């Protein structure tokens, strides 16, 4: 399933819908014929009204090589269930301009599938189409467009990518733009090689007549191998010493080129540095297949949602432009929700995030040192003509292994006398103000307790130090699940735990869960 995009209230609403649909999916499937009987629908009724058509590619990896075989599959369903016997056309377009049409038919579950062999280098774009039996009055039903890249890659069975890097002769002369001899522009990276995702720093110098050029705009222009710069330049300003600094989280798998230029006047001579080529030491992550959206969109993923304090995490994904276009060599930012100032803020110690030629980004950073749950998002900065663009929200749980493994001694002794577990959970992540937090408490292994002698207590905390009782209920054993709601008063982190006791004292306690709470809607000036 593809990611949901900012703002957060949409993310939360769709989580609820997803839960409802998953519950419905667990029920016995009802076919179209059964729905006809239930609703007294005649055979003349068009069951394709409100139909949905999906498409997926396996293996779900963007980078491939010639000779690889992929499986194309999907589902066609209407408002009354799967649509059987529907003829589906899958269009395939590649960078050579050649169009291929793959034909398949849905089975009794509405599923269709076929396969394709990648033979040529370049970008492959796939889309499933249903044409309503050639009815001219209705537009064809189309799936999303999916894109993969077939290139000179060696792809091991593990899914990691290795690449034969093109050779670069550093002694080869570089064509330099016309410039005056009394102006010097240099851009120096901290090193010429990098691991994808890590941050690399650049230092730029502007000197005129032997003196630094202070407080003037300069432009950093990233690009691909060969010194091609299709990207929008990043504007900086020199300091008193004529120096600028910038850092990027760089993606793989291809070499990257960087240049800087200075222009005294709009119509003046452009003084440009020599391009600096940086080579990846490894290809980096092989991301999922890219979805080509019609609107500007950022899809973000995280390699591990639960980590220890200060452990490295990797954020990666796609930046898609308008009309399904790629966004090559674009600058993004890693943001997180700052509960103190109640805004989306730049993530700690992060640099600008650069996309590669295909719109892929990869960013390696340290997780926070403080335990709790955090909300991350990849952002394209806004300006006077366009608002900021956020990706989907990425929840991150920071938990100490020692704290998770070491239980309180008294609780361990109680659990030895009363084997069993008490589990507390929530589906409300993140929660909202105003809003409610849904809590669920279940037990395992406590069915033999005395009926009517159990009391379930729910506690909350805002700092994981001071705890407050907010609900206590007498339970009849055996019980399976108890639900409750908590209303947070303000944004922040809320901690919850449950405890079960009898007339003699505690029986068992649950683990602690953390729920981040944010405002229901953020003002435009707090993006």
Q: What is the 3-state secondary structure (H, E, C) of 147-175?
A: EEEECCEECCCCCCCEECCCCCCCCCCCC
Residues 205-212: what's their mean pLDDT?
Answer: 92
Grouping H, G, I as helix, E, B as strand and the rest as coil, residue 409 is: helix
Q: How do the domains of the chain map onto residue ranges?
A: 40-152, 183-280, 290-401, 407-519
Structure tokens at 441: 């408490």
pLDDT for the residue 182: 86
How confident is the model at residue 430, as a pLDDT? 82
- Mean pLDDT over 300-312 rounds to 91
Calculate mean pLDDT across residues 134-143: 78
pLDDT of residue 32: 56
Chain-centre distance of CA 458, in angstroms? Answer: 34
pLDDT band (50, 70, 90) for residue 41: low
In the prediction, which pLDDT does 493 show? 85
- pLDDT tens-digit series, residues 373-424: 889 999 999 888 889 999 998 988 888 765 444 344 444 443 444 456 788 8
Give the separation between CA 456 and CA 481, rounded to whole angstroms: 11
Fold topology of 183-280: Immunoglobulin-like (2.60.40)
Instruction: Tell me which H or E stretch contains 109.
Output: none
* Common-topology check for domains 290-401 and 407-519: yes
Q: Which of 118-132, 376-390, 445-459 has the lowest mean pLDDT?
A: 445-459
- Local confidence band at 226 (pLDDT 50, 70, 90 cut-offs): low
The band of 298, judged by pLDDT with boundaries at 50, 70 and 90, is very high
Give pLDDT, residue 172. Answer: 36
Q: Return the CATH number of the domain spanning residue range 407-519.
A: 2.20.130.20
Quote the pLDDT of residue 11: 41
For residue 386, what pLDDT is reported? 86
Q: Which of 36-40, 56-60, 119-123, 506-510 has the least mean pLDDT?
A: 36-40
Q: What is the pLDDT of residue 2?
A: 45
Predicted pLDDT at 185: 94
Residue 442 has pLDDT above 50, yes or no: yes
CATH of 40-152, one of 2.40.50.220, 3.40.190.10, 2.60.40.1930, 2.60.40.10: 2.60.40.1930
CATH architecture, domain 290-401 = Single Sheet (2.20)
Q: How confident is the model at residue 197, as a pLDDT?
A: 95
DSSP 458-505: EEEESSSSS-EEEEEEEEPSS--EEEEEE--SSSEEEEEEEEEEETTE
């Amino acid at each position: 399933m593809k990611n949901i995009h900012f703002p957060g209230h949409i993310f939360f609403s769709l989580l609820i819908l997803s839960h409802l649909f998953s519950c419905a999916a667990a029920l016995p499937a009802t076919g179209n014929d059964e729905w006809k009987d239930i609703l007294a629908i005649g055979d003349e009724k068009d069951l394709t009204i409100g139909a949905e058509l999906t498409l997926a590619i396996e293996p779900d990896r963007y980078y491939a090589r010639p000779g690889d075989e992929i499986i194309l599959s999907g589902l066609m369903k209407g408002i009354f269930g799967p649509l059987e016997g529907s003829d589906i056309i899958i269009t395939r377009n590649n960078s050579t301009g050649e169009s291929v049409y793959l034909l398949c038919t849905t089975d009794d579950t509405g599923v269709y599938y076929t396969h394709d062999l990648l033979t040529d280098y370049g970008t492959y774009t796939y889309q499933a189409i249903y044409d309503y039996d050639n009815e001219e009055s209705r537009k064809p039903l189309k799936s999303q467009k999916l894109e993969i890249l077939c290139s000179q890659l060696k792809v091991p069975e593990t899914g990691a990518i290795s690449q034969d890097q093109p050779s670069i002769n550093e002694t080869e002369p570089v064509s330099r733009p016309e410039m005056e001899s009394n102006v010097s522009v240099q851009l120096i990276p901290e090193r010429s090689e990098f691991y994808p995702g890590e941050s690399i720093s650049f230092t730029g110098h502007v000197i005129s007549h032997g003196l630094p050029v202070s407080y003037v705009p300069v432009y950093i222009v990233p690009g691909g191998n060969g010194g091609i710069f299709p990207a929008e330049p990043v504007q900086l300003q020199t300091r008193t010493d004529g120096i600028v600094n910038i850092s990027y989280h760089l993606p793989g798998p291809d070499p990257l080129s960087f240049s800087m230029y200075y222009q005294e006047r709009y119509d003046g001579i452009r003084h440009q540095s020599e391009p600096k080529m940086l080579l990846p030491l490894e290809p980096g992550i092989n991301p999922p297949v890219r979805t080509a959206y019609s609107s500007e969109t950022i899809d973000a993923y995280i390699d591990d949602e639960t980590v220890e304090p200060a452990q490295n995490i990797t954020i990666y994904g796609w930046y898609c432009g308008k009309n399904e276009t790629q966004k090559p060599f674009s600058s993004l930012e890693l943001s997180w929700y700052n509960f103190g100032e109640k805004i989306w803020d730049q993530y700690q110690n992060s640099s600008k995030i650069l996309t590669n030629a295909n719109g892929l980004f990869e960013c390696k950073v340290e997780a926070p040192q403080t335990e709790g749950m955090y909300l991350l998002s990849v952002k394209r900065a806004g300006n006077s003509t366009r608002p900021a663009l956020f990706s989907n929200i990425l929840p991150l749980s920071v938990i100490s292994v020692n704290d998770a493994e070491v239980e309180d001694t008294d609780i361990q002794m109680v659990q030895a006398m009363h084997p069993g577990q008490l589990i507390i959970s929530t589906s409300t992540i993140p929660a909202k103000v105003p809003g409610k937090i849904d809590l669920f408490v279940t037990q395992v292994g406590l069915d033999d307790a005395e009926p009517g002698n159990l009391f379930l207590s729910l506690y909350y905390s805002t700092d994981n130090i001071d705890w407050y009782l907010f609900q206590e209920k007498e339970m009849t054993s055996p019980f399976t699940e108890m639900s409750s709601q908590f209303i947070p008063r303000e944004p922040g982190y809320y901690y919850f735990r449950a405890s079960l006791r009898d007339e003699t004292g505690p029986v068992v306690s649950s683990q602690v869960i953390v729920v981040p709470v944010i405002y229901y809607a953020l003002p435009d000036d707090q993006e």
